[in-house]
Structure 1
Amino acid sequence: MSGLIVSNLSVTLGEKTILSDIALTAMPGSMTGLIGPNGAGKSTLMRAMLKLTPLSSGTITFDGTNLLAMPGRARAQLTAFVEQSGSTDSRLTAREVVMLGRIPFQSVWQSMPSPADLTEAETALAAVNMTAFAERLFHTLSGGEQQRILIARAIAQQPRLLILDEPTSHLDVHAQLITLDLLRGRAQAGATVVLALHDLNLAAAFCDTLVVLHDGHLAGQGTAEQVLTPALLRTVYGVEATLLQHPKTGRPLIAYDLPSRLRMAPPNSD
């Protein structure tokens, strides 16, 4: 079967079970959103998919091949990972950071980037609207600018499997929409895109499938319409909400109910 398939995945660190018996499928040409409250295990799951966190049990395959058994170079040519935040003490320019995404494709004897490497890097910078920042030192950029550069680095890898941990967390609304539309374009071009999101309305608007984690367990998997129910939001997030329908897209739109103590008091009648 094509795409990413995670079966019976568990992760235990020390005495604590972080993830227990997780199973999910993410298909090529689609965006799969990982959602759940803080501490649910989303970041651990993504790192486990890429052999950055050891599994206690389970299997992970991509297009029928054991992803974790691949040599590191082959896995890096296939996958790209954007962490929640990235920093470096090295005095690298934004373009040089993006060029790091081309390393898996360079030979050990290659001392300079190839024309193809340079083209991929420039294309990736343009895709995230950061061409004008290419010569800026990475560490001098704002959090949102750094995040866009890290996404460009991942795009420069031309991955078939793209995994992103909160790729919109430092971005303003406009940049969030542009970034998610860019990722949706990568999916429509054939990539398998898996990303963690906290904003459930963005997840509902852009993701084809949602995977819900709660306390390290799988709490739901399916389309936004199937998953985002008032009952699940109450159980997983501890919130009351009304589900509406977006007037243009028809996708679910969540209207949260404020806790009573936060509701505005009625105006004084006298």
Structure 2
Amino acid sequence: MSRRAPVWPSGGEALVVVAGAGVSRGGREVLRDISFTLAAGEVLAVVGPNGAGKSSLLSLLSGDLSVGSGTVSIGGRTVGRWRPRELALWRSVLPQHTTVAFPFTVAQVVEMGRAPWAGLARPDEDTAAVAEAMAETEVTEFAERTFGTLSGGERARAALARVLAQRTPVLLLDEPTAALDLRHQDLVLRVAVARAKAGAGVLVVLHDLNLAAAHADRIAVVAGGRLRACGSPTAVLTSELLTDVYQRDVEVLPHPRDGTPLVLPVR
């Protein structure tokens, strides 16, 4: 099969379909009977307590973890049937931690996101993709610094720029705001929303429920390896569900400015 660039679907079309998926690690079931879709044009936030299975779910979608039961499809084909370089044209992945073994500059790290496009894109397209990604994440000013000299937050943004430069229809982001200050947390989620508006499907793992409520079109709550709920922020972020999932009394109020759910632990 010849390698070719994916044809981006229209808004609302399912990019990722997970049907009854389950997986075990070391003899322990970490995900069971997970079903949901990720559509073009939407941001889907995955939330849940530590150890719930969120990162395992992202590894399943990325193809790094094999499905034990059910199916996981991207671009209309089960993940296991994609060749690695073909799959890299369909989905890009931001892990929780990015390490670079050699003294590459930030610009060189971001350029790595263009590797799957070798032989398919023109040099000017590569240049434009890298420049746009660096501008979106505000790393252009330290493009020539080596990755290892950056702060944790700067590294996180440079790693995200690499993912954005890949220009795939599906973006899988694992806790992209964890190392960031307040302004850059908002920046990263606004970039995710902008990519979705441009036609991508964005799945982002978050711990901050209020960030999820403010920026996601839908929220999936994972706990104990099960999908407990998936729907709009208003439908999903209820005090009853969150209190049960997090084992902590939680109050949910409408935000005074826009009515989105505001999640507060009861003190």
Is the TM-score greater than 0.5? Answer: yes
Higher mean C-alpha deviation, range 35-44 or range 51-60: 51-60
Q: Matched residues in 2 for 1:246 and 1:63: separation?
A: 36
Q: Confirm whether residue 220 of structure 1 aligns to residue 229 of structure 2.
A: yes
Partner of 2:59: 47
Cα contact 1:34–1:42 (8 A) shared by 2: yes
Cα offset, 1:57, TM superposition:
1.3
Q: Matched residues in 1 for 2:26 and 2:211: separation?
A: 35
Partner of 1:267: none
Q: Matched residues in 1 for 2:233 and 2:166: separation?
A: 30
* 1:190-243 Cα deviation digits (max 9, x unpaired): 100000000001111111111111111111111111111111111100111221
Partner of 2:14: 2
Cα contact 2:75–2:90 (8 A) shared by 1: no
* 1:62-104 Cα deviation digits (max 9, x unpaired): 3422233111111101110001111112110000000000000
Partner of 2:26: 14
Cα offset, 1:2, TM superposition:
2.5
Cα contact 2:14–2:39 (8 A) shared by 1: yes
Opposite residue 150 of structure 2, the aligned amino acid is L
Aligned mate of 2:146, from 137, 144, 149: 137
Aligned mate of 2:69, from 41, 51, 57: 57
Matches within 5 A, 1:116-195: 116-195=125-204
Opposite residue 127 of structure 1, the aligned amino acid is E
Q: How many residues align?
A: 255
Cα offset, 1:49, TM superposition:
0.7
Q: Confirm whether residue 94 of structure 1 aligns to residue 106 of structure 2.
A: yes
Cα contact 1:34–1:211 (8 A) shared by 2: yes
Q: Using the aligned pairs only, state the percent identity.
A: 36
Opposite residue 208 of structure 1, the aligned amino acid is D
Q: Matched residues in 2 for 1:201 and 1:87: separation?
A: 29
For structure 1, the 5+ residue unaligned runs are 259-270
Backbone CA RMSD of aligned residues: 1.5
Cα contact 1:50–1:68 (8 A) shared by 2: no
Tell me the TM-score normalized by structure 1: 0.91
Opposite residue 200 of structure 1, the aligned amino acid is L
Cα offset, 1:255, TM superposition:
2.0
Partner of 1:264: none
Cα offset, 1:244, TM superposition:
1.1
Q: Confirm whether residue 241 of structure 1 aligns to residue 253 of structure 2.
A: no
Tell me the TM-score normalized by structure 2: 0.92
For structure 2, the 5+ residue unaligned runs are 1-12
